[in-house]
Each structure stands twice: as structure tokens, then as C-alpha cells.
Amino acid sequence: MLNVEHTTDTNAAIWKSDQIVKTWAAEAAQRERTHGAQWQLMARLLPFGEQEAFTFLDLGAGTGAASRAILERHSSSTGILADFSAEMMGAGEQELRPFAGRYRYVEFDMVAGGWPTAIPAAVDAVVTSLCVHHLPDERKQRLFAEILDRLVPGGWYLNYDPVRTEDPVVTAAWERVTDQEKPELAHKRHHRTPEEQARYENHVRYISLLRPQLGYLQAVGFHGVEVHWKRLDWAIFGGYRPQE
């Protein structure tokens, strides 16, 4: 049972609960319909031939959705999947079975920092999907710097995440379109269970504007900082480490 009431770290309480794994699994098909094309686009954006061998790091990997798209498209790639939730990683082991031998999970808390030695000092690419928005802005910026530091020269970083707008008129327009496309979510917004409310509040807590995040990437030294895809409150953006 999910109990986040008396916990200061709601993010950890949510993602490390057994309940989340059950709910996450139940939502898998819906998630694939909503995000599958974007995960495939990330895999295609990575600058490697389909047979080329390379190592990528997936931070906040969860059950490995982004990693699976990359492992599938790039048959000689190897994935390091990092997460702080043993529960999510356990569920991911099931889903990643077809890729046994080509990936490994590493425990890593992105808030605590201090990268474990199990994460290689240099990787060819880093991806994050639906997880950076769980970090406060100052941690996002430092994480981007740490990611740059881990990349080989020329290595790419791609982040797929929700973003917000400052303008309430734009927020209302995005919500209206989403409600039209997914009426079940419109109903859900007004009828959340306590668990769904806790998850929602944890989800929106640190969602940031897109432009400052592009600024963070540039400020820490990424080149080619671009928004590769954007629709309503979702974006894929990133950059690459310059050649030295």
C-alpha cells in the first residue's frame, strides 16, 4: 500500500513502493501508445549506424522503455540502466528479457549525486525519459553537467520530459487538447484516488520551463542544443559534447 503522508521524500516513497510497480505495469499499454513513437525517435536520433557498437546510459530508466527502443534499433548497443528504485528495476528485468546480456541495471540516486563506480567513466550517449522533471532545477543543471562529464567527445544527450509554460492561457489550451484526445484523463483529473493524487503532485512538483533547461545545457558546455520534437507539454531536447 502506498503511504506518502508522513514522508518528506514523496518521490522516493512513491517510486520505491510495490504499489507503483503494479500501477506502472497496468498502464504499460497506454504509455506505449502515448510515448512509444518518441522513444523510437530518440533511438533514431542517436548518431550511430544500426550495427554499430556503442554504450549508452539511461538515467531514471525505470522499466527501461527508452532503453528497449535503443537496444531494439541498434542491435550491437549496450545499455547501462540507472535508477534508485529496486522495485522498478525488478519489474524492468522482466521486460528486458529479450535483451539479456546487452544491458545491466545500476542503483543510482540522481538527487543524492555521487555517481557509483558501476557507471562507466565514459559512455557514448546518455538518455533520460520522463524522470528529470522529478529533480529541482538546481539539481537538473548539475545533473546536466555531470552527464556532459561522462560523455565521450561527440557523445549525445537526449532528454524526453514534460515541460510547463508560464502562461495560463497556453496551459489551458494544452489541457483542452489533451482532454479532447483523452477524455478518460479529463474525467480522472476531477476523480483521483489519494494514491493518484499523490502521484500527480509528485509528477508536477518540479516540471520546468523548456527554455531555461536549454540554457542549462548550453551553460554547462553542451553544443548543438536543440528541441528535436515538441508537442504540447512534452519535448525531446538535448545536445552533444564538443570534440576536444
Interface residue list for ligand SAM (CB under 6 A): 11, 15, 60-62, 65-66, 83-85, 88, 108-111, 129-131, 134
Of the pair 130, 198, the CB lying nearest ligand SAM is at 130
Of the pair 131, 217, the CB lying nearest ligand SAM is at 131
Of the pair 61, 148, the CB lying nearest ligand SAM is at 61
- Minimum gap (Å) between residue 81 Cβ and ligand SAM: 9
Of the pair 45, 223, the CB lying nearest ligand SAM is at 45
- Minimum gap (Å) between residue 192 Cβ and ligand SAM: 17
- Minimum gap (Å) between residue 113 Cβ and ligand SAM: 10
Of the pair 110, 151, the CB lying nearest ligand SAM is at 110
H or E element at residue 70? helix 65-73
H or E element at residue 154? strand 151-162
H or E element at residue 80? strand 77-83
- Minimum gap (Å) between residue 243 Cβ and ligand SAM: 29
What nine digits make up the cell of 31?
504509455
- Minimum gap (Å) between residue 5 Cβ and ligand SAM: 19
- Minimum gap (Å) between residue 218 Cβ and ligand SAM: 24
Of the pair 65, 125, the CB lying nearest ligand SAM is at 65
Q: How far is CA 242 from CA 78, 110, 148, 153, in A?
A: 22, 24, 10, 6
CB of 225 closer than 8 Å to CB of 214: yes
CB of 164 closer than 8 Å to CB of 191: no
Residue nearest to ligand SAM (CB): 62
Q: Which residues contact 202 (CB under 8 A, 6 or more apart)?
A: 4, 10, 11, 14, 134
Q: Residue 146 burial by CB count (10 A; 0-12/13-18/19+): exposed, middle or buried?
A: middle
Residue 160 CA to chain centroid, in angstroms? 6
